[in-house]
């Protein structure tokens, strides 16, 4: 079942349950409310009747007629009972026996009366004492419960119609809202199908808000990253075949020349030296490719541990300074704070050295290595004073076999990124404000030393 229908059914079911419970509660309380309201009305009408009795002479035929008209106007069933003589003075109810049984069964002195049971019906009762110095009479007003139940049924029927209209409106509204909610999700599903089929150029923006918009942005970023990864894989195989083919052709050429006697003496020795150099280059490329493959697929190759940043940077400098001296480049170090960082020290040393070696190769006079903490992050920053990085090259600098001028295998920075990311960190490259390139390695998993 589609999500849209599931949401509509769930919302409608919840609404029906709530309205049903509400209806049951209203139904159970409505009759009691009607009874209390009817008792209040009977009291008000009883006061008017008592005032009429006290102010008018009922021995007069005209007054009696007016009194009967008043009872008919109010649609009341009334009888008057004299406690002193214990007799019924007046009654609009034809069955005197029923009235006498009521007088015997119920307490007329109590203002609060239960429902009186008649032969065929129950009655709501209100008793009004006739307040007169010479009177000990009680005026009893009655309303059949059937009348109130009919009112109750009429109100419930109207309420039921209102509930039905409310449910219909709510269903339509929920269908409209769920359509607006589910439509972006449906479009996102189509976008994912395009990603599955690698149709990245057909990706379209999905209009949405809130969390769905965030998901859409994440999908777009994922698609861009996947597209970039696929392109990098294509370039990887192309560049890898080129990088491996060139030294192999050189080795093959010299080997065939020596075999056929074309190269002899000094030329043969020089050819053997070239072959050894190319074999070493091939070996380095293959080892780096294997390392990258292991970093991507093997969990056991990476063993993180708690590393002291000061000791680690000392190891980095011990390896960087001799390389810099050969190039007549000065390496400066600035360590602001000593912390404990979680990573594989051997692998991270290789990653940082790859970046520093790259910086030394492109620097004019110096390379600056800085470590510091900021915003709950530990940073290793490597800056050179060279010409910087081309804007187009920055976007793919960490891809495999991507290298700038004077680059070697094009795998060093790719290895550095793989190692840093396996450590839970991140790495980025940019041009420094005053010239040269800047590499920033950032970690969030570290502890400050407690002095």
Residue 100 belongs to a domain with what CATH number? 3.30.450
Residues 259 and 352 in one domain: no
Residues 273 and 327 in one domain: no
Residues contacting 192, CB < 8 A, separation 6+ = 219
Decide if 423 is inside a domain. yes
* pLDDT on residue 240: 66
Tens of each residue's pLDDT in the chain, 451 residues: 666 677 777 777 888 888 888 888 887 788 888 888 888 888 888 787 777 766 665 555 676 677 777 777 777 788 888 877 788 877 888 788 888 888 888 888 787 888 888 877 888 888 888 766 555 678 888 888 888 888 888 888 888 888 888 888 888 887 777 777 777 777 778 888 888 888 877 777 777 677 777 887 888 888 887 877 777 667 666 666 766 777 788 888 888 888 888 888 888 888 888 888 888 888 877 777 777 777 666 666 778 888 898 899 999 999 999 999 988 999 988 876 788 888 888 889 988 998 999 899 889 999 999 999 888 889 999 999 988 888 778 877 777 666 655 555 567 788 888 888 888 899 998 998 888 899 999 998 788 766 5
Residues 11 and 140 in one domain: yes
Decide if 191 is inside a domain. no
* pLDDT on residue 300: 67
What stretch of H or E contains 229?
helix 210-259
What stretch of H or E contains 446?
strand 446-448
Residues 283 and 257 in one domain: yes
Residues 120 and 29 in one domain: yes
* pLDDT on residue 442: 93
Q: Please, are residues 384 and 367 in contact by the beta-carbon 8 Å criterion?
A: yes
Q: How many domains does the chain have?
A: 3
> Which CATH number is 219's domain given?
1.10.287.130
State the Cα–Cα distance between residues 165 and 147, nearest whole angstrom. Answer: 27
Hey, how many other C-beta atoms are within 10 angstroms of the C-beta on 409? 20
Residues 15 and 143 in one domain: yes
> Which CATH number is 430's domain given?
3.30.565.10
Residues 278 and 375 in one domain: no
Decide if 170 is inside a domain. no
Decide if 285 is inside a domain. yes
* pLDDT on residue 383: 93
State the Cα–Cα distance between residues 290 and 286, nearest whole angstrom. Answer: 6
Contacts 24+ apart (CB under 8 A), 133-137: 135/82, 136/82, 136/83, 136/84, 137/80, 137/81, 137/82, 137/83, 137/89
State the Cα–Cα distance between residues 378 and 386, nearest whole angstrom. Answer: 25
State the Cα–Cα distance between residues 362 and 387, nearest whole angstrom. Answer: 7
* pLDDT on residue 404: 56
Domain end position, chosen among 251, 281, 297: 297
Decide if 171 is inside a domain. no
Domain end position, chosen among 297, 323, 342: 297
Q: Please, are residues 407 and 392 in contact by the beta-carbon 8 Å criterion?
A: no
Domain span at residue 367? 305-448
What stretch of H or E contains 410?
none
Domain end position, chosen among 128, 151, 174: 151
Q: What angle do CA 361, 367, 369 make, to 5 degrees?
A: 125
Residues 444 and 386 in one domain: yes
Q: Please, are residues 291 and 415 in contact by the beta-carbon 8 Å criterion?
A: yes
Sign of the CA dihedral running 414, 416, 422, 426:
negative
Q: Please, are residues 118 and 32 in contact by the beta-carbon 8 Å criterion?
A: no
Q: Which has the closest alpha carbon to 223: 209, 206, 207, 236?
A: 206
* pLDDT on residue 409: 57
Residues 329 and 284 in one domain: no
pTM: 0.48
Hey, how many other C-beta atoms are within 10 angstroms of the C-beta on 370? 17
Residues 285 and 328 in one domain: no
Where are the alpha helices (H) located in 140-209, listed in sequence order?
145-196
* pLDDT on residue 64: 65
State the Cα–Cα distance between residues 306 and 325, nearest whole angstrom. Answer: 31
Residues contacting 57, CB < 8 A, separation 6+ = 63
Residues 145 and 7 in one domain: yes
* pLDDT on residue 130: 74
Decide if 192 is inside a domain. no
Quote helix, strand, coil % in the chain, to nearest 5. 60, 20, 25
State the Cα–Cα distance between residues 370 and 432, nearest whole angstrom. Answer: 14
Work out whether strand 305-308 and strand 426-431 pair parallel, antiparallel, or are unpaired. unpaired
Decide if 157 is inside a domain. no
Detail the DSSP E strand segments found in 51-174: 77-82, 87-91, 116-117, 122-129, 137-144
State the Cα–Cα distance between residues 349 and 343, nearest whole angstrom. Answer: 10
b (16+ CB within 10 A) / e for 11-24: bbeebeeebeeeee
């Amino acid at each position: 079942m589609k999500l849209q229908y599931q949401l509509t059914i769930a919302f409608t079911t919840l609404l029906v349950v709530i309205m049903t419970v509400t209806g049951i509660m209203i139904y159970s309380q409505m009759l009691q409310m009607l009874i209390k309201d009817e008792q209040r009305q009977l009291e008000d009408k009883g006061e008017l009747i008592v005032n009429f009795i006290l102010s008018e002479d009922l021995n007069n035929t005209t007054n009696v007629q007016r009194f009967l008209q008043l009872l008919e106007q109010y649609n009341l069933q009334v009888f008057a009972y004299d406690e002193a003589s214990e007799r019924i003075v007046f009654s609009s109810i034809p069955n005197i026996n029923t009235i006498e049984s009521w007088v015997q069964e119920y307490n007329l002195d109590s203002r609060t009366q239960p429902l009186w049971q008649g032969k065929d019906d129950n009655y709501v009762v209100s008793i009004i004492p006739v307040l007169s110095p010479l009177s000990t009479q009680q005026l009893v007003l009655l309303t059949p419960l059937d009348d109130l139940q009919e009112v109750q049924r009429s109100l419930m029927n109207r309420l039921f119609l209102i509930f039905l209209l409310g449910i219909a409106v709510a269903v339509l509204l929920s269908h409209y809202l769920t359509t607006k909610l589910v439509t972006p999700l449906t479009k996102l599903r189509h976008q994912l199908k395009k990603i599955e089929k690698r149709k990245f150029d057909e990706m379209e923006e999905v209009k949405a808000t809130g969390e769905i918009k965030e998901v859409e942005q994440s999908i777009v970023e994922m698609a861009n990253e996947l597209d970039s990864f696929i392109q990098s894989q294509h370039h990887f195989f192309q560049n890898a075949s080129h990088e491996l083919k060139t030294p192999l052709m050189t080795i093959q050429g010299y080997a065939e020349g020596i075999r056929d006697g074309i190269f002899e003496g000094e030329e043969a020795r020089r050819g053997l030296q070239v072959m050894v150099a190319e074999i070493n280059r091939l070996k380095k490329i293959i080892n780096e490719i294997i390392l990258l493959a292991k970093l991507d697929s093997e969990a056991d190759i990476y063993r993180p541990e708690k590393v002291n940043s000061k000791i680690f940077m000392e190891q980095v400098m011990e390896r960087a300074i001799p390389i810099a001296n050969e190039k007549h480049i000065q390496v400066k170090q600035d360590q602001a704070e000593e912390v404990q960082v979680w990573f594989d020290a051997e692998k991270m040393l290789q990653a940082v050295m790859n970046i520093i070696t790259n910086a030394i190769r492109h620097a004019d006079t110096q390379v600056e290595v800085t470590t510091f903490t900021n915003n709950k992050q530990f940073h290793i920053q490597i800056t050179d004073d060279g010409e910087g990085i081309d804007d187009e090259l920055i976007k793919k600098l960490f891809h495999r076999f991507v290298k700038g001028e004077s680059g070697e295998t094009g795998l060093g920075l790719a290895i550095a990124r793989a190692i840093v990311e396996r450590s839970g960190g991140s790495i980025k490259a940019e041009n420094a404000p005053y010239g040269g390139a800047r590499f920033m390695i950032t970690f969030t998993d570290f502890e400050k030393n407690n002095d």
